[in-house]
Chain A
Amino acid sequence: MIKTWDLDPNFKYEIMKEPGGEHLTSCFQCSTCTLGCPLTEIIPSYNPRKIIQMSLFGMRSEVLSNPDLWVCLICQTCTARCPQDVRIADLLGAIRRIAEREEEAGKLKIESPRPRFDKAFEHQLAKYGRLYDMGLAMEYYKVKEGSFFKGMMAMSKDYKKFGMRLFKKGKMGVKSMLPEKVKDRGVMKKIFEQMGERR
């Protein structure tokens, strides 16, 4: 049941201000997005159409705390099929960024580790300009598990066999232990400082 007194009539404008969220109000609820989404075969309750409807209603806290936000694959199937050009995959990204800022402000706790993973990834780029797999895995596991030691334990458990497999094929030699770096790293830092999350 919708609690009308909890609705936030400005939520849709908040989303539409976020890059990727602009087309929210074009949705006419046909559900083409949900019906074609590959995730629904695995998670039957997954429903991007409903997230859009709740956003339009202004159910801000329900939407921002919805765990389904964090399983979207960004596969763009919904975007390709939507008759109203709502750009659902980008829109869900816009909502995820609002949720992340809400968490940073201490107003929301996101259970999914995905924001932690994305942040760890961004840190590699800001530092090196290229993806450093080892650095990413180490930072992600540390944050996810709560300490460096626990992180290393969990990582070696998850990745022992996988790592060996790559090592045998010469894909995890000394070269992949060290980060590849762009020469002009100052500009990477500047891009992340000046362009990312300015709002």
Chain B
Amino acid sequence: MSMKYAYYPGCPSGTTAMEQDISMRAVFENLGIELVEVEDWNCCGALEVEDPELVYALNARNLAIVEKEGLNIVTPCSICYYNLSRSNNALKGDEELRARVRSIDDSLAYNGGVEVKHVLDVLANDIGIEELRVRIKKKVKAKVAPYYGCYIGRPPETAFDDPDAPGLMDGLIEVIGGEVVAFNYTKTKCCGGPLMMTVQDVAYKMARNVLESAKNAGADCIALACPLCGMMLDAKQEDIEEFFGIKIGMPVLYITQLVGLALGIEPDKLGLNKNVVDTKEIIGKVM
């Protein structure tokens, strides 16, 4: 496949979500799709930069850098996607805003020539389920709870899947030989991540709800596509267990890790030794 994207890794790619970055690069390399890391990218603003115009200006710089390369941009993070994509829409549709942003600095001169994509969209639609079916070398015989969280099916102007019953990840899980468990009620519920540092008990209750729903549905693991969800559900899982005095023990994998396993990539090359909850059981289901 001679496809090429600008790659926006996002801030947690070097720390808490390094396995997402590692597996993303490994999967795209395996598929023969070139990823060119956005040169000197800056943070998208996450959910903490609340002024929308500030978010637009921050991302105008990222988009302008990519525009010079003549590429479209892909990111594995749902929050980065949301910010890059809504900034792209706002800047494309508003000449006055573009001019105002540009007047801050020449490096913010963006003309609206970039498309922003989430990795789930690229895997399921640009590459496509049928192409993946041909590339798959192994089956991942696991029961998987596909967890979409926010910014995939909503808000409407940046959504790329159904808001109530998203299915792109379900499709990927099926093509790699996994079984999708009944998880519809929870798959688009927020993980609580945005409140982790400020209203911890509420954040923990929300995350517990996602983890327990997956467990009750009989899942062997949760699949997801956002580093903040990964932080809440994987890295914080032990804290949540301790807080409520419960035991969950639910492995949490990035969708790129699961797809990578089916492509026959070695577990370590997918960062499966970096997930906090042990992933050996899932690796054991690859045949």
Contact = CB atoms under 8 A, between A and B. Distances in A.
Interface centre among B48, B61, B150, by most chain A C-beta atoms within 10 angstroms, is B48
B195 A73 contact: yes
A54 B127 CA distance: 48
Interface of A: 19-20, 38-39, 41-43, 70-71, 73-77, 79-81, 87, 89-90, 93, 96-97, 112-114, 117-118, 121-122, 125, 129-131, 133, 140, 161-162, 165-166, 169-172, 175-176, 180, 182-184, 187-188, 190-192, 194-197
B107 A187 contact: yes
Given A79-B155, A131-B11, A195-B54, A121 B104 contact: no
A122 B190 contact: no
A182 B53 contact: no
B190 A75 contact: yes
B274 interface: yes
A90 B52 contact: yes
Contacts of B188: 77
B207 to A, nearest CB: 11
24 contacts: A38-B190, A73-B190, A75-B150, A77-B188, A79-B154, A80-B159, A80-B163, A90-B52, A93-B50, A112-B199, A117-B48, A117-B198, A130-B43, A131-B43, A171-B15, A171-B18, A171-B274, A172-B15, A180-B14, A184-B40, A187-B61, A188-B42, A191-B61, A195-B51
A154 to B, nearest CB: 12
A182 B40 CA distance: 6
Contact of B42 (A42, A70, A113, A129): A129
A183 B40 CA distance: 6
Q: How large is the interface on B (under 10, 10 to 19, 20 to 34, 35 or more residues)?
A: 35 or more
A125 B42 contact: yes
Contacts, number: 153
B236 A80 contact: no
Interface in B25-71: 40-43, 45-54, 56-58, 61
B239 interface: yes
B274 A76 contact: no
A76 B148 CA distance: 13
Contact of B238 (A89, A113, A161): A161
Contacts of B14: 175-176, 180
A130 B80 CA distance: 12
Interface of B: 11-12, 14-16, 18, 40-43, 45-54, 56-58, 61, 101, 104-105, 107-108, 150-151, 153-156, 159, 163, 188-190, 192, 194-195, 197-199, 202, 205-206, 209, 235-236, 238-239, 273-276
Contacts of A175: 14-15
A39 B56 CA distance: 28
Nearest to B198: A114
Contacts of B156: 79-80
Nearest to A37: B190
A194 B202 CA distance: 35
B43 A71 contact: no
A73 B197 CA distance: 12
A96 B42 contact: no
Contacts of B155: 76, 79-80, 87, 89
Contacts of B54: 191-192, 195-196
Contacts of A197: 51
Nearest to A42: B205
Nearest to B237: A165
Contacts of B150: 73-77
A77 B209 CA distance: 17
Top 8 nearest A-B pairs (CB, nearest first) are: A80-B154, A121-B48, A75-B190, A131-B11, A129-B42, A195-B57, A114-B198, A176-B15
A194 to B, nearest CB: 5
B252 to A, nearest CB: 13
A195 B206 contact: no
B105 A121 contact: no
